[in-house]
Amino acid sequence: MINLSYRFDQNSSSLELAGMPDVSNGDSESTIGIIFSWTLKIIGCPLLEGEKEHLDNLMQVILQYSRSYISGIRKTFVSNKKIVTISPFGISHKLLLNSTKKGVKPLEIILDDSELSDLTRCLDLLRYDPRFNIRWDINQERPYSKKYIRQNLSNPNKNFNFFYSFIIFLFTSTLLVLIPTNNKFELKESTNSYQSLSEQSQ
C-alpha cells in the first residue's frame, strides 16, 4: 500500500495531508485520491486535525469569508453541518470550531488579516493541486453582482457617511447664517447712481 504525504506552507500556517491513491479511480502512484488524515498548524494556536468532512467544512467557510472580505463585505459564514463558523471580530476574525465528539468544548481562534490570508492561501493551493484527485464538498464560486455588494456592505459605513453629510450640512448652514449681507449698501449705491444720471440729463 502506497502512503503519501504532502504539505502546504505559508508564513503562519502549515497544512499537511496524508493519504493514498484510489486505484479504482485510476490514480497514479503520486496522486492522493483517499485522505487518511490532515493536520493544520497556525502559529500560536493548538494543532488542528480531523477527517475529510472537517476539512471540507473548513474550506467552505474560509474561502467564502475571504472572498467576501476582499469585496468589502464583513459577514458571518457557517459550514453546512455547523462544524466551522467564522465571523468578524473587531479588526480581526474569529474562527469557531465545533468538535463532532461529545463533551469537547468548541475551539476559538482569533486571526488577523495576515493569518487569514496565509490560511486561505494554503487551502487554495490544496484545492488546485494536481497531486490530489479529490472532490471537495464546497460551494461553487460565482462573481458577486454590484447590487449584492451594495446590499451587503457593512451598516456602520453607511451610518458614518450619513453622519458626515449631516455635519457638513450644519456647518454650511451656520456659515450662511453668520455671513452679513450687503443688500442695504447695494441699494444706496444704486440710488446715488440714479441721482447722478438725473443731474447729467438736466
C-alpha cell at 141: 464560486
Position 152 scores a pLDDT of 65
C-alpha cell at 124: 487554495
More confident call, 71 vs 37: 37
Strands 48-50 and 84-89, by their bridges, are unpaired
Decide: 139 and 60 in contact? Cβ < 8 Å: yes
Identify the burial level of 37 via C-beta atoms within 10 angstroms of its C-beta, where 0-12 means exposed, 13-18 middle and 19 or more buried.
Answer: middle
Backbone φ and ψ for 54, nearest 5 degrees, come out as -70, -40
Lowest-confidence segment of 26-30, 63-67, 118-122, 179-183 by average pLDDT:
179-183
In what helix (H) or strand (E) does residue 19 lie, and over which residues does it extend?
Answer: strand 13-20
Residue 9 pLDDT greater than 60, yes or no: yes
With cut-offs at 50, 70 and 90, classify the pLDDT of residue 139: confident
Estimate to the nearest angstrom the gap between the alpha carbon of 79 and the chain centroid.
Answer: 16
C-alpha cell at 192: 446715488
Nearest-CA neighbor of 85 among 50, 119, 61, 115? 61
DSSP state of 175: H
C-alpha cell at 51: 477527517
Cα–Cα distances in angstroms (integers) from residue 160 to residues 60, 134, 155, 163, 169, in the given order:
32, 46, 9, 5, 14
More confident call, 191 vs 18: 18
Taking the model in full, what pTM does it have?
0.71
